[in-house]
Amino acid sequence: MDEGLYTKVSHDGVDTNHHGAVTIPIYQNSLFAFENHESFDQAMKDVLAATVYSRGNNPTVQYLESKIADLEAAEKARCFASGMAAIAGSLHALLRSGDHVICVNQAYGPTRQFLDELSERYQVEVTYVDGCLLSDFEDALRPNTRLIYLESPTSGLFQLQDLEGVSSLAKRAGALTMIDSSWATPCFQRPLTWGIDLVLHSMTKYFSGHSDCLGGVVAGRADLIDEIANKGYMLFGGVMTPHTASLMIRGLRTLPLRMERHQRNGLIIAEYMEKHPLVNRVNHPGLPSHPQHALARKQLDGFSSLFSFETQVSVELLKKWADALRYFRIGVSWGGFESLVTVGQTPASRNLGGTNPSVARLFIGLEDPQTLIEDIEQAWRQVIEA
Ligand SMILES: Cc1ncc(COP(=O)(O)O)c(C=O)c1O
């Protein structure tokens, strides 16, 4: 990880507007009043930049947006009420009826659902591709392809897409590229430096880091972010509140520190799981056994701590194992301080010799990894001995 990130998240310069306060105050107000009508009229001509109404701009939120733009090497960023608000708002703003979208088939479920809604209601055509090979995108391109939507790594099977390859392919075809980079955060992946046009995050995850608020962000070229702000932000109204922005700013201060710990803990547990006799396969891009490990090393600066393992143990038994864990909570989401687990079945596409294996997704928190390993072992013993 670039050590300079630590300085970027810690340093704000001196804020002479707020008595030298070392953190930006929470502007807990819905509107901004003007001294005279002339300055009001002036501000109304530039609602994308002026502070008129907090559904457009709010200084606490704007401050967070400028910090994220800096971390992502983006011209601009916009923060939303949730990751899905950022995804849906951006897709809705950029797509028109008759456009074609290529999306990876392992993208976050509600993202696919939203694209399917656009397809059904507004005649946006969608092609889902595996995305592990560049040719998957090449073969799916059409003259009306407006957007290629990526999620790398994906958050179930942890598949990667070649960011440099896809972005140059899209540029040649005149299509935009957008990526959900929530897994990596800007600490471990900066997609714009590989030529991707827009990067999205569910800030609910690692940015917040404390499992106590929801948020989303999109960052990229100023003209695209302004289009999204005009059509997908102000009109839908799914904006981030100033109070949430202040929690996110707090989370941001320790993001690199936490990500280093998550990386270390995640790899320790993934390596342990890989040696376990009941485990067939561990889906973690940081392991040399991952089929795209070389690509991971090229385009990621590190690895976060969400991964899955596959096993021939039945889903029922695997759920009992999850129940027996003491330090892993059963729950969706990830990116907080606490370790989590969910159990399911791999998709049908993973069918190995007639059966598709059970899968457990682990999120490794900030705990002592030895405690987590002992927990996993005691839970296996309980299940196997029962
Ligand atoms: C990969 C990914 N992207 C986007 C989202 C949506 O984010 P939010 O829950 O903040 O709307 C999630 C949520 O789990 C996610 O896992």
Q: Residue 384: what pLDDT?
A: 82
The one-letter amino acid at 131 = G
> Which atom of ligand 1 is nearest to 214's Cα?
10
Calculate how far, in angstroms, residue 214's C-alpha sits from the geometric centre of ligand 1. Answer: 9
CB atoms within 10 A of CB 139: 11
Calculate how far, in angstroms, residue 83's C-alpha sits from the geometric centre of ligand 1. Answer: 5
Token duo for residue 72: 């992502």
| Exposed/middle/buried for residue 275 (C-beta within 10 Å: 0-12, 13-18, 19+) | exposed
Token duo for residue 74: 């983006």
> Which atom of ligand 1 is nearest to 151's Cα?
1
Calculate how far, in angstroms, residue 38's C-alpha sits from the geometric centre of ligand 1. Answer: 43
Tell whether the torsion through CA atoms of 67, 23, 261 and 4 is positive or negative: positive
CB atoms within 10 A of CB 173: 16
Judge contact between 161 and 177, C-beta under 8 A. no
Residue with tokens 């390993």: 373
Q: What is the pLDDT along the chain (386 residues), one digit of tens a residue?
A: 899 999 999 988 767 778 888 889 999 999 999 999 999 999 999 999 999 999 999 999 999 999 999 999 999 999 999 999 999 999 999 999 999 999 999 999 999 999 999 999 999 999 999 999 999 999 999 999 999 999 999 999 999 999 999 999 999 999 999 999 999 999 999 999 999 999 999 999 999 999 999 999 999 999 999 999 999 899 999 999 999 999 999 999 999 999 999 999 999 999 999 999 999 999 999 999 999 999 999 999 999 999 999 998 999 999 999 999 999 999 999 999 999 999 988 776 665 566 778 999 999 999 999 999 999 999 999 988 77
Domain final position from 200, 228, 253:
253
**247 and 314 inside one domain:** no
> Which atom of ligand 1 is nearest to 182's Cα?
1
Query: Residue 345 is part of a domain; what is its CATH number?
Result: 3.90.1150.10
Which residue has its alpha carbon closest to ligand 1 atom 6?
83
**25 and 147 inside one domain:** yes
Q: How far does CA 45 lie from the centroid of its chain?
A: 34
**140 and 276 inside one domain:** no
Q: Residue 12: what pLDDT?
A: 82
Phi/psi for 29 (5° steps) reads: -140, 145
Full residue range of the structural domain in which residue 172 is found: 4-253
Q: Residue 352: what pLDDT?
A: 58
**174 and 120 inside one domain:** yes
**203 and 312 inside one domain:** no
Domain final position from 253, 275, 295:
253
Q: Residue 351: what pLDDT?
A: 58
Closest-CA residue to 85 (of 234, 255, 185, 224) = 234
- The total of structural domains in the chain comes to 2
**267 and 219 inside one domain:** no
**222 and 310 inside one domain:** no
Domain final position from 253, 284, 318:
253
**173 and 54 inside one domain:** yes
**237 and 263 inside one domain:** no
**202 and 272 inside one domain:** no
**237 and 367 inside one domain:** no
Query: Residue 121 is part of a domain; what is its CATH number?
Result: 3.40.640.10
> Which atom of ligand 1 is nearest to 216's Cα?
10
Calculate how far, in angstroms, residue 86's C-alpha sits from the geometric centre of ligand 1. Answer: 10
Calculate how far, in angstroms, residue 113's C-alpha sits from the geometric centre of ligand 1. Answer: 13
Which residue has its alpha carbon closest to ligand 1 atom 10?
83
Q: Residue 350: what pLDDT?
A: 62
Calculate how far, in angstroms, residue 108's C-alpha sits from the geometric centre of ligand 1. Answer: 7
Which residue has its alpha carbon closest to ligand 1 atom 2?
108
Q: Residue 16: what pLDDT?
A: 76
The Cα–Cα gap between 15 and 297 comes to 39
Can you tell me whether residue 142 is helix, strand or coil?
coil
Show the ligand 1 pocket: residues with CB < 6 angstroms. Answer: 82-84, 108, 155, 180, 182, 202, 204, 214, 216, 333
Which residue has its alpha carbon closest to ligand 1 atom 12?
202
Which residue has its alpha carbon closest to ligand 1 atom 7?
83
DSSP per position, 209-259:
-SSS---EEEEE-HHHHHHHIIIIITTT--BPPHHHHHHHHHHHHTHHHHH
Beta-ladder partners of 80: 216, 239
> Which atom of ligand 1 is nearest to 203's Cα?
10
**239 and 337 inside one domain:** no
Q: Residue 326: what pLDDT?
A: 97
Token duo for residue 172: 């040649």
